[in-house]
Amino acid sequence: MSDFVQHPHDKLFRTVFADTEEAALFLREHLPAALSERLDWPSLALIETSFVDEALRESESDLLYTVQMKESEVRAFLYLLFEHQSKPDPWMRFRLLKYMCRIWDESFKQRPEQSELPPILPVVFYQGERAWLPSTEFADLFPAAEREQSFLPRFTHYLIDQSGLAPEQVTGGLKARVAQLLMMAAVRAQVREALQAAAPLMAQLTRTGGIDYVAVFVLYLAATQERRVVTEFATEVHRYAPGTGGDMLTYAEELRQEGLQEGLETGEIKGKVEMIESLLAVGAEWSLITRATGITPDEFETLKAQLNRFADPHAGDDAQQTTTD
């Protein structure tokens, strides 16, 4: 539970897209048609592993699949990297190369007799507020005057940029659509619009036997939204599926308190906030702090807000009551 509190985006992404049917449907819709047609999507298989550095799990998540290429019958890796931060990182391409090398290294460990490297299809999935402007070409990280040299490594990653996507434009399977909308509500300013679009889908999920995923989605809401927002969302779900909203709200509160207690007991959030506050107090620049901790200013504010909500889960209610009065 505490891991979901500490890394809600990572847990939600990995839970939903570990379902290969959901992943295949989502990727088929978003990858270039020429590439999608070359892949035997029913052969998509998940490999239970992760290559993201622990310090970056609050801003990145990953999943590794294998998939058969139709024409050559070569089995390739498909590496899906989810960037859940508010703005693009131009150095993501450098980290992506590191992760790809780790995949190949692990492949050698599993099959030391192999004489060729398996292809890797790198895909970046981004949902931030700002449009993704950095190049998708790795070679563009080098000085322009030397960029065409043959001794430089080069590859292109595929990009799924949803920064300009409206909630009603979200596509994919039912679970993937709910997940995208909840993440959109957490990392972008369209909280109300995203949750209004998610409510009928969540109600549909409760009616079609997806209760395990409902629990995951409620836990994510409890970890990323104020109690007032969760209450409003539960009420909205109840409109579409009477009898479910109240149960969902009760479950959310139980999960919030359980996760809250575990998170505070480990001291992980509090420790990170105190460490960064100490660095800021002695005049450390944010560029240095981010390099040392992997935490950006926006993520720091999110951690502080989480800590405040954990300390007083009814603070939002008091503020709402004051406004009403």
Tokens of 45: 């298989």
Give the CA distances from residue 95 to residues 71, 91, 138, 147, in Å, rounded to whole numbers and listed in that order: 31, 7, 10, 19
Task: State the Cα–Cα distance between residues 40 and 72, nearest whole angstrom.
Answer: 11
**Residue-level pLDDT, tens digit, the chain, 325 residues:** 445 556 788 888 988 999 999 999 999 999 999 999 999 999 999 999 999 887 777 778 999 999 999 988 899 999 999 987 778 888 999 999 999 999 999 999 988 898 999 999 999 999 888 889 999 999 999 999 999 999 999 999 999 998 888 999 999 999 999 999 999 988 877 788 999 999 999 888 877 766 667 778 887 887 888 878 888 888 888 888 776 555 555 555 555 555 545 554 456 677 778 778 876 876 677 876 776 677 888 888 888 887 776 555 454 454 444 444 5
Count of H helices and E strands in the chain?
14, 5
Cβ neighbours of residue 161 under 8 Å, at least 6 residues apart? 126, 131, 132
Q: Which of 265, 172, 194, 183 is nearest to 224 (CA)?
A: 183
Spell out the domain ranges in the chain.
2-133+155-164, 168-266, 269-313
Q: What angle, 0 to 180 degrees and rounded to 10, lies between the N-to-C axes of helices 227-240 and 245-266?
A: 150
Has this prediction a pTM greater than 0.85? no
Position 316 scores a pLDDT of 47
Position 246 scores a pLDDT of 52
Cβ atoms 32, 65 nearer than 8 A: no
Tokens of 87: 């703005």
